[in-house]
Amino acid sequence: MDLSRLGAFVTKSITLEERPGNEPTRIVETRAGMLNAIGLANVGLQRFLKEKVPLLQKMPCPVIVNVAGHSVDDYTSASAAMDSLECVAGVELNVSCPNVKDGLVFGTDPKRLRSLVTEVKRVVPTKPLIVKLSPNVDDITATARAAVDGGADILSLVNTFTAMAVDINTRKPRLANVTGGLSGPAIKPIALHLVSRVYRSVAQSAEVPIIGMGGIQYWQDAVEFILAGASAVAVGTALFVDPATPNKIVDGLNQYLIEQKVDDLADLVGTLRLP
Amino acid sequence: MSQTRDQYAAEVVASIPLCQEHWKLVLHLQHFPTTAPGQFVQVACRDLELNYSQEQDLDWADDQPVQIDHAELSQRLAFLRRPFSLAGRRDSAGGVEIDLIHRVVGMGTDWLSRLKPGQKVQLIGPLGNRHTLPGQKSSDEAVAILVGGGVGIPPMIYLASQLAGRKAVAFCGAVTRNLLPLTITNAAVAPTATSIEPLYNIEEFATFGIPAVISTDDGSYGYQGFVTQALERYLDRYFMDEPARGRAIIYTCGPEVMMKRVAQIAEARRIECQVAVERAMACGMGTCQSCVIRVKKADPAAAPMPGSDWCYRLACTDGPVFLSTDLLW
Ligand SMILES: Cc1cc2nc3c(=O)[nH]c(=O)nc-3n(C[C@H](O)[C@H](O)[C@H](O)COP(=O)(O)OP(=O)(O)OC[C@H]3O[C@@H](n4cnc5c(N)ncnc54)[C@H](O)[C@@H]3O)c2cc1C
Ligand SMILES: Cc1cc2nc3c(=O)[nH]c(=O)nc-3n(C[C@H](O)[C@H](O)[C@H](O)COP(=O)(O)O)c2cc1C
Ligand code: FES
């Protein structure tokens, strides 16, 4: 697939320390989607710098590094290292992983989120800071506003929804972690609604762009997110089904712009016609 | 090794029932990178061209059941791709034919079993690492012992095709004769329920000059009992001394309990054993981190996870083939 046509490539979460991740079974297919409880398996910052950065330097599109952690220090140490890398176009904070203990501590508490973002913003002076929001909250506009107040340059949403599946023969959860995060087409309508809400209540007035995601599989899905307020869209689960998905979406969007006689995709952002 | 992996549209040449639950799918591709036994493909077990469907307005009339025709919800579709081992490959001027043998266990394999010649199937491959063939080992007199159980038999057939002319013997087990995805020929040399003598009566192996021992749990064909029992008795008859064991390599694929037992049998005799493991997979390409298996680390101080004597490896890219002695399962 042709990566050069994409706006950016986002890495899986990197943490300060290496993490083996959760016990298997780590994934289960569900109707029109899947549950995952990978548990932030990754090589850690030091090996990331040594082993992965050389690969990222060769990427034909901008690279956004996603950073996760347990404490403010974890986030700031890893994020500061990313800020100094030339091959990194932006830093995304994963404050919304439902699959590790403490994974949602920052993502569900607006006060803590705001101070985390403030601290990280201080050590990421040269790159855009993206905050990835969790849908597992009562009011996503509260966490969105906290992220913006803390200094987020961009919001991305949504991460996966906490969910589970049960094996009726063994009467055990299908995932070793018991719960996992639901992704894929099954979550698209909810994700779309959350993007629309965050756009109208927070992002539009604050002039903070949104990266919309959650179940996007076809270009038409992408258009829906853009109309609802996303300036860009991201694709996760659909890549497992068809790795060519992002390129097909780019083709579809180009065609749509021609048909709609719109010059620039940006002109469509948030143009949802409400009753 | 799988650098050349790509997405391919293959055309169905034939879809043939082999027994009660196994089907053989023969696919034609214009081109497919070189492959080796142990490797697999990720098959989209549904029509990927089934395109975007807008959420529907539902008519909620008293006298009519609600019609939900959103494809993802109204029918069970295999959402993710499904991994299948290569069971055979033939190259010719007209392209490449690959065989997949699958057991119908759910919606994806059910969809595959309904395919008709001429239909298109999307697959990604080749994926995974490969078995090390005995010829690539130092001793010329090497004997390959293939041990397949149930849906683990297909990769053993591909392996057999690459062993033609070498010393090899195949052991295959199934619950019952109707679940054996193999072609029994030569009824005259039917095995007895206690015999562990390899016979040239299974077409898939005999074609490549390889004799086979078949076992069924219920004794409906061949050796009555588990394939591991037949294997153990065979080794105790023909591989008693160190030099003979040193020349043997066991290859195994099948249910995990079976492979664990095969590994025990091999390790007790210090015979090399290459295991092809199966794990739930989403991507098959090393990106999603879902298919992990625990392996021993040679050096606990080294990365990954310095200080621990084990680490996870990915079944899709580090495997599916592992040495049994490396696995912690
Ligand atoms: C590397 C690799 C190679 C494989 N090679 C082959 C092959 O050559 N031939 C073959 O028939 N199968 C093979 N499999 C297994 C095959 O991928 C599964 O049988 C298939 O995914 C089932 O899909 P489904 O949609 O039909 O079943 P689903 O609807 O997904 O599942 C139906 C039932 O089968 C069980 N099931 C699902 N996946 C597996 C699995 N991997 N192992 C055991 N039970 C499972 C489920 O728990 C469920 O009870 C391989 C798996 C791997 C990882
Ligand atoms: C297997 C898998 C692994 C994921 N890993 C991460 C991760 O490491 N960090 C993160 O911020 N989000 C992670 N996500 C969440 C996705 O980035 C995305 O937010 C979510 O899956 C919704 O989008 P989708 O429906 O297009 O997949 C993961 C999702 C899946 C399915
Ligand atoms: S299946 Fe995704 S990493 Fe192995």
The CATH code of the domain that includes B310 is 2.10.240
Quick check: is B62 in a domain? Answer: no
CA distance B71 to chain A (A): 10
Cβ contact (<8 Å) for B303 and A47? yes
* Chain B contact present for A220, CB below 8 A: yes
- The pLDDT of residue A102 is 67
Identify the residue whose tokens are 């390409």.
B285
Least confident of A34-43, B149-158, B296-305, B316-325: B296-305
As a whole number of angstroms, the distance between CA B133 and CA B116 comes to 35
Which DSSP helix (H) or strand (E) runs through A168? Answer: none
Residue B1: per-residue pLDDT:
40
Of A114-118, A235-239, B59-63, least confident by mean pLDDT is B59-63
* Residue B208 lies in domain: 134-276
Is A186 within 8 Å of A215 (Cβ atoms)? Answer: yes
Distances in Å between the Cα of B130 and the Cα atoms of A70, B86, B134, B267 are: 39, 11, 12, 21
Same domain, residue pair B140 and B171: yes
Express each pLDDT in B281-294 by its tens digit. Answer: 999 999 999 999 99
User: Under a CB-based contact definition with an 8 Å cutoff, are residues A96 and A82 in contact?
Assistant: no
Q: Do B139 and B12 share a structural domain? A: no
* Whether residue B150 is found in the same domain as residue B267: yes
B140 with B271, same domain: the answer is yes
With the most atoms of ligand 2 within 8 angstroms of its CB, the residue from B288, B290, B291 to mutate is: B288
Task: Taking residues B219-239, report their average pLDDT.
Answer: 95
Give yes or no: residues B217 and B325 share one domain: no
Rounded to whole angstroms, the Cα distance separating B210 from B200 reads: 7
A189 touches chain B (CB under 8 A): yes
- Residues across chain B: 329
Q: What is the pLDDT of residues B120-136, one digit of tens each?
A: 999 999 999 999 998 75
Q: Which atom of ligand 1 is nearest to the CA of B320?
A: 1
Nearest CA to ligand 1 atom 31: B106
In a domain, B36, yes or no: yes
B44 lies within 8 A of chain A by CB: yes
Structure tokens at B275: 């295991």
Instruction: Tell me what the mean pLDDT of segment A22-33 comes to.
Output: 94
- Residue B2 banded pLDDT, cuts 50, 70, 90: very low
pTM of the model: 0.93
pLDDT in tens, A120-137: 999 999 999 999 999 999
| Calpha distance B159→A126 (Å, rounded) | 55
Per-residue model confidence (pLDDT) at position B121: 96
Q: A110: distance to nearest CA of chain B, Å?
A: 30
Instruction: Please give the Cα distance from A77 to A82 (Å, whole number).
Output: 9
Q: What is the pLDDT of residues B83-96, one digit of tens each?
A: 999 999 999 999 99
Please work out whether the CB of residue A66 comes within 6 Å of at least one atom of ligand 2. Answer: yes
- How many Cβ pairs within 8 Å bridge chains A and B? 91
User: CA-to-CA distance for B79 and A185, rounded, in angstroms?
Assistant: 10
Q: What mean pLDDT value characterizes chain A? A: 95
Tokens found for residue B302: 């080294």
Mean pLDDT of B52-81: 68
Is B15 within the bounds of a domain?
A: yes
Chain B residues with beta carbon closer than 8 angstroms to that of A41: 289, 292, 312
Q: Of all atoms in ligand 3, which is nearest to the CA of residue B291?
A: 4
**A3-268 maps to CATH 3.40.50.150:** no
Maximal CA-CA distance, chain A: 56
Residue B203 in any domain: the answer is: yes
> Which amino acid is present at B75?
Q
Half-sphere exposure of B245 (CA within 13 A, CB side): 16
- Asked if A75 contacts A93 with a C-beta cutoff of 8 angstroms, the reply is yes
Chain A residues touching B51 at Cβ < 8 A:
218
Could you tell me if B285 and B271 lie in one domain?
Answer: no
**Portion of chain B with pLDDT greater than 90, in percent:** 76
Report, as an integer, the average pLDDT of B1-20.
86
CATH of the domain at B228: 3.40.50.80
Q: How far is the CA of A179 from the centre of ligand 2 (A)?
A: 15
Residue nearest ligand 2's atom 11 by CA:
A94
pLDDT in tens, B252-284: 999 999 999 999 999 999 999 999 999 999 999
Question: So what's the pLDDT on residue A97?
Answer: 75
B140 and B218 co-located in one domain: yes
Q: Is A38 on the interface with B (CB under 8 A)?
A: yes
| Predicted confidence (pLDDT) at residue B62 exceeds the cutoff of 80 | no
Residue B102 lies in a domain: yes
CATH number of residue B44's parent domain? 2.40.30.10
Number of domains in chain B: 3
Question: How many C-beta neighbours within 10 Å does residue B38 have?
Answer: 23
Rounded CA-CA distance B22/B26 in Å is: 13
Q: In this structure, is residue B328 part of a structural domain? A: yes
